[in-house]
Amino acid sequence: MGFTDADWVAIGLTLRLAFTVTVLLLVIGTPIAWWLARTNSWLRGPVAAVVALPLVLPPTVLGFYFLLAMGPQGWLGQLTQMMGLGGLAFTFWGLVIASMVYSLPFVVQPLQNAMMSLGDRPLEVAATLGAGPCDRFFSVVLPMSRPGFVTAAVLGFAHTVGEFGLVLMIGGNIPGETRLVSVQIYDHVEALEYTQAHWLSAAMVVFSFSVLLVLYRYQGKSSPFKVGHGV
């Protein structure tokens, strides 16, 4: 294998970050998606726009604001220091928070689409069978939105693995803390270590392709209950 020890550290860190971000985003994104899918509030438009912002903003813009917020004078930095957690800038958990915002639309939107496509009927059926609102959410909405959860998890994970600009802005380049694969590749190229850069880059291509292939095959087959005449 052509990976150096530093490469392996970067790979491990990247996977750890992507996994953490994906899990947290599924937890936070689910209620947001459900609210967006159901509400008639005037806030729906503004909230949907904010959620989608990372799709269009350059990562440097997000990174710049996070850098300010997480710095010693920033509100987020002040908050974490007050709580005795120290600063967030140039730390793993700073990266986690920024990545969650950056990948939010990739998780919320598939969930929201899946939930909207359910329509009212399954919920009405559940209500007539004695299920209260909370019960309906867990017994009907979550299981029936399963394809949306798979898509959301895969996209959220893959998108976090692929970030670069944001990491450079707020994470810097600390081995084992913030030096992700994308940054490691950048360093190899800077140092003219093209062989190393090749190995890591090729690994990223293979990884991304595999993930998307699995995802689209899953969507193509869909789940057994999306076809035919279900609810």
CA distance 30 to 146: 12
72 contacts other proteins (rule: CB under 8 A): no
Closer by beta carbon to other proteins, 128 or else 195: 128
Q: How far is CA 117 from CA 128, 141, 156, 172, in A?
A: 20, 11, 21, 41
* Contact yes or no for 70/55 (Cβ under 8 A): no
3-state SS of the chain: helix, strand, coil percent to 5?
Answer: 75, 0, 25
Binding to other proteins by residue 95, rule CB under 8 A?
no
Asked whether position 222 contacts other proteins by CB under 8 A, the answer is no
Under the binding rule (CB under 8 A), the answer on residue 39 touching other proteins is: no
Buried b / exposed e along 148-167 (16+ C-beta atoms within 10 A): bbbbbbbbbbbbbbbbeebb
96 to 125, contacts with other proteins by CB under 8 A? 121-122, 124-125
Say how many residues touch other proteins, by CB under 8 A.
26
Tell me which stretch binds other proteins (CB under 8 A): 12-20, 56-64, 142-150, 166-174: 142-150
Least Å distance, CB 42 to other proteins, is 15
Of 85 and 129, nearer to other proteins (C-beta) is 129
Binding site for other proteins (CB under 8 A): 121-122, 124-132, 135, 139-140, 143-144, 146, 223-231
